[in-house]
Amino acid sequence: MSFSFTPEFEALLEQVREKMESVVYPLEDAARRNFEEALPELMKARDALRSEGFTAPHMPKEIGGMGLSFLEHARMSEILGRSPIGHFLFNCPAPDAGNMELLHQFGTEEQKKRFLEPLVRGEIRSCFSMTEPERAGSNPVHMDTVAVREGDEYVITGRKWFTTAGHLADFAIVMAVTDPEAPPHRRASQIIVPADAPGFKHIRRIPIMGDEGYGWSSHSEIEYDHVRVPVTNRIGEEGEGFKLAQERLGPGRIHHCMRWLGICERSLDLLCKRAVSREVGDGQTLADQQVIRHYIAESRAEIDAARLYVYSTADKIDKQGAYAARVEISSIKFFVAGVLERVVDRAIQVHGALGITEDTPLSWFYRHERGARIYDGPDEVHKNTVARHVLKPYLASKG
Ligand SMILES: Cc1cc2nc3c(=O)[nH]c(=O)nc-3n(C[C@H](O)[C@H](O)[C@H](O)COP(=O)(O)OP(=O)(O)OC[C@H]3O[C@@H](n4cnc5c(N)ncnc54)[C@H](O)[C@@H]3O)c2cc1C
């Protein structure tokens, strides 16, 4: 197994690193403090990056993306992940990135023209609405939202929450039951709902540890109150909702893991800078303390191990497909989320009180990424998948 990249791609990554220094980091503080106020400047920077060919890295060049392969996008994602606004400025934040992939792979020509192309150009925003407040999101086959067919239309009724970026989104991809009598994994479909359709009701931005965010950096509760959309807004066949969700989530987990590794690298960098500069008496700094050195060594080893595990999983997806790599995908999902939590926490600890202020990005990372162990499948569900696989031969030999 080797992960070599072309010199052209390495040169491109160097340019991306340079853009992080010259464009992204200078805007970061303002965006973390008040995303709404910072938005005009952010949009200007985003447009400039787009005009230089730096946006939608995972989309083909023909429709305005950068045309990167899966593994290349994973590498770039680690660089972008170093800043809370990296993916946003390069137009590949969740859930837009996954929605673009879904529409590109499964959308009709009409859906691509109306929804995908402007999304890739960064002219509109999207969200993905599956989880419901009254149902366990860990097992979404149980769902109350229905799409009832009336002639050439679906009438959608239900309530969703944690619809990331639902605030001010132009359209949602909604998971709704289209056939309650079908087997559990054939009951639901994915349907595009424009946010200006009558009955689309944005209820609230749900505060995350006290921060309700704005636009892209928020999570919404949305009511679908008898929303009518044409049947042609369905993605794929009726009953294919879960199949499409799996197609979307496998690669999505790699993207998340690589973004988290970017956060880890930035946090370790901040930890080390603080450790060498903070004097704790007798000319000694935090970096001279053995326990702090342990934090650094543990973080370095965990990040490097996690990266190799993610690369090897991405390599297996490339060669054998997402289904063959499903156990590895579950492993990296909980493993890297755990590394993320530990590394960010150590960095905060080493900063002392400063670590929980808004003067560094660490508190933003902590607040917004605690969810990493919950979204896209909680730790426990992924560990169960891995353990089931490990136990298989033992249970078989038991007879
Ligand atoms: C930051 C964030 C962003 C999100 N974005 C979106 C989005 O854009 N669109 C969307 O549709 N949803 C989104 N979600 C929702 C997310 O997918 C769900 O929160 C997740 O699937 C878990 O569902 P739940 O919250 O209902 O927890 P539940 O299903 O109620 O589970 C609660 C807890 O029970 C435990 N548990 C669950 N199942 C098992 C099991 N089988 N064995 C042992 N323990 C178990 C786990 O500890 C789990 O955390 C987001 C969530 C977060 C936190």
Report the CATH number at residue 226.
Answer: 2.40.110.10
* Residue 74 or 163, more confident: 163
Distance 207 CA to ligand 1 centre (A): 16
Q: Kindly indicate the confidence band of residue 1, based on its pLDDT and cuts at 50, 70 and 90.
A: low
- How far is residue 102 CA from its own chain's centroid? 14
Mean local confidence (pLDDT), 17-33: 96
Residue 375 lies in a domain: yes
Distance 22 CA to ligand 1 centre (A): 37
Pairing of strands 171-177, 188-194: antiparallel
Distance 132 CA to ligand 1 centre (A): 10
Residue 372 lies in a domain: yes
Distance 361 CA to ligand 1 centre (A): 25
Give per-residue pLDDT as tens, 314-330: 888 878 888 899 999 99
Residue closest via CA to ligand 1's atom 24 equals 137
Domain identity same for 266 and 388: yes
Burial class (CB in 10 A: 0-12, 13-18, 19+), 249: middle
Closest atom of ligand 1 to 135 CA is 26
Domain identity same for 246 and 362: yes
Of 162, 212, 221, 384, the residue with max ligand 1 atoms within 8 A of its CB, to mutate for a pocket test, comes to 162
pLDDT of residue 252: 84
- Single residue among 237, 262, 290 that ends a domain in this structure: 237
Helix (H) or strand (E) holding 128, with range, is strand 126-129
Helix (H) or strand (E) holding 64, with range, is none
Domain identity same for 197 and 274: no
Mean local confidence (pLDDT), 332-349: 98
Residue 99 lies in a domain: no
Closest atom of ligand 1 to 95 CA is 8
Q: How many domains does the chain have?
A: 3
Give per-residue pLDDT as tens, 268-288: 999 999 999 999 998 999 999
CB within 6 Å of ligand 1 — which residues? Answer: 95, 128-131, 136-138, 162-164, 219, 371, 374-375, 378, 380-381, 384
Domain identity same for 339 and 256: yes
Domain identity same for 264 and 382: yes
CA 52 – CA 63 distance, rounded (Å): 15
Domain identity same for 212 and 290: no
Residue closest via CA to ligand 1's atom 43 equals 380
DSSP state of 208: B
Give per-residue pLDDT as tens, 187-204: 999 999 999 999 999 999
Give per-residue pLDDT as tens, 343-373: 999 999 999 999 999 999 999 999 999 999 9
- Single residue among 40, 74, 92 that ends a domain in this structure: 92
pLDDT of residue 2: 64
Domain identity same for 247 and 345: yes
Encoding tokens for residue 35?
């995303």
Q: Are 203 and 162 in contact (CB under 8 A)?
A: no
Of 127, 131, 263, the residue with max ligand 1 atoms within 8 A of its CB, to mutate for a pocket test, comes to 131
Report the CATH number at residue 22.
Answer: 1.10.540.10
Distance 136 CA to ligand 1 centre (A): 7
- What Rg value do the Cα atoms of the chain yield, rounded? 22
Q: Kindly indicate the confidence band of residue 246, based on its pLDDT and cuts at 50, 70 and 90.
A: confident
Domain identity same for 68 and 147: no
CA 85 – CA 214 distance, rounded (Å): 13
Residue 106 lies in a domain: no
Domain identity same for 143 and 59: no
CA 154 – CA 375 distance, rounded (Å): 28
Report the CATH number at residue 326.
Answer: 1.20.140.10
Task: Tell which residue, 29, 6, 77, 13, has the closest CA to residue 361.
Answer: 29
Domain identity same for 392 and 263: yes
Residue 100 lies in a domain: no
Domain identity same for 204 and 262: no
Query: Which domain covers residue 64, as residue numbers?
Result: 7-92
Residue 110 lies in a domain: no
pLDDT of residue 317: 84
